[in-house]
Copies of this chain bind each other. A is one copy, B any other.
Amino acid sequence: MTKKDNILIVGAGLCGSLLALRLGQRGYNISVYEKRPDLRKIDISAGRSINLAFSDRGIKAMKLVGLEEKVKPLCIPMNGRMLHDVAGNTVLAPYSGREHEYINSISRGDLNALLLDEAEALPNVTIYFNHKSTEVDFENSIAHFYQYETKSEVSKKADVIFGTDGAGSSLRKSYYLGKKFLFSFSQDYLTHGYKELSILPAKNGGYKVFKNALHIWGRGDFMLIALPNLDGSFTVTLFLSYAEGEYNFNNLTTKEKVLEFFTTYFKDALELMPNLIDDFFENPTSPLGTVKCSPWHYKGNTLLMGDSAHAIVPFYGQGMNASFEDVVEFDKYLDDAQDWESVFKAFEKSRKIDTDAIADLAIDNFHEMKGHVNNAIFREKRNLEMALEKNFPTEYSSKYSLVTFNENIGYYKAMTQGRAQDKAMLNMIADHDISISEKTSKEELAAILKKVQTETENILEEDRIAKNM
């Protein structure tokens, strides 16, 4: 491998444009081919998630490419979950007991445009739009495209091809259909789908509800969430079963039924959404799926990265952050690299365990957000965690904090440690071994921390013995 290598990237979404920027900064010759038109020129947001939760793993990647300051103006801090109950009461549940830890709402389009601008500013990076990848000949490193403008097929040969073409990846499909090697693959759909709605800005251009939170209307079997946008609006998402329950996507077919559903379960949200019915019937209902696969690479010819290798459900707000972290992790192998195959192999070997973990964590959080946030033991655990994080900021991090704010701990370690902590605390709370109230002193908290740490270690040790024998 040399700096003269011609690198082809399929897909100029968030992961592809960041990868192009980073490899461009390293001096490779980069051609990026994107299916859609240039989003800086045409609004192509319809049907896609238009804002995202952006947190420390994503910020780590911005630091790597020198964009930390440029991305800041795009961010709206969200300090916690604003929980809305059926009666319209709200409570803010912070994400962390440490004040400097929060997540951000960011526009997918704005962030992608920034990355495209920066990548395209490099002389050795060229981006082509309106090229839909139809197949990748991974044995000969040739990517085949359909060019929408000329309505013709084009084929491009490269030294190395990266597939950053998202959950429906064409490169991954070529691996699967090619049957040239044993390709492990899974696509798992939830029984729930999602639909985007919106809360428009107030008449004065301000926010109709509290700006700096991720709003959640959790109703056990379904939920509504809202994230703020810079223009004063919120992007709202309804997560609901396709076919089960009294109300579901299959039976919400009339204006009356939709209004009845929202009046019953989301009355305070409905009052903020006079545009609900239009949004509901104009916007598509989309599925929620997890994709895992292996191997990600074929020899030193091709590599899947980002959603194409590991698409996850959105409930941990980590999809984009995980894809950005892919680029950071991949970059580490380039300094001393001998050949692409060794780089690809080493990257997958160290990275896959972490992307598998965040996929599983994201499913966990679906259940947590829908229902557990309203459960008494869960809420006591969260209260306790906030107190521990506040009083012992260097000694305790919740699972959420480990995943979201500890970008130097891998997802797998965060999951293992975080689940053991949760299990320890939930059981000790259920057994009345530990509890928290406003009167709990710092000394009492220190004793609780000790108990939690000891029990967490026991749980991890018992699992180790059961697994390794």
Contacts and interface: CB of A to CB of B under 8 A. Distances in A.
A462 B287 contact: no
A274 to B, nearest CB: 32
Interface stretch (A34-42, A80-88, A421-429): A421-429
Nearest to A368: B469
Contact of A465 (B242, B426, B462, B465): B426
Contact of A466 (B183, B292, B423, B469): B423
Nearest to A287: B182
23 contacts: A182-B287, A183-B187, A183-B189, A184-B186, A184-B187, A184-B188, A184-B289, A185-B185, A186-B186, A186-B187, A186-B188, A375-B469, A377-B465, A377-B469, A378-B469, A419-B466, A422-B466, A423-B466, A426-B466, A426-B469, A427-B462, A427-B465, A430-B465
A322 to B, nearest CB: 20
Interface string A425-445: 011001000000000000000
A385 to B, nearest CB: 14
Contacts of A292: 186
Given A372-B469, A377-B465, A377-B469, 14 more contacts: A182-B189, A182-B287, A183-B189, A184-B186, A184-B189, A185-B185, A185-B186, A186-B186, A186-B187, A419-B466, A423-B466, A426-B469, A427-B466, A430-B465
Interface residues of A, number: 27
A25 B428 CA distance: 56
A433 B297 CA distance: 48
Contacts of A427: 462, 465-466
Interface in A255-304: 287, 289, 292
Interface string A380-422: 0000000000000000000000000000000000000001001
Contacts of A377: 465, 469
Interface in A347-397: 372, 375, 377-378
Contacts of A185: 185-187
A188 B188 CA distance: 13
A187 B462 CA distance: 31
A466 B466 CA distance: 18
A93 to B, nearest CB: 15
A182 B187 CA distance: 10
Interface string A97-115: 0000000000000000000
Contacts of A430: 465
Contacts of A426: 465-466, 469
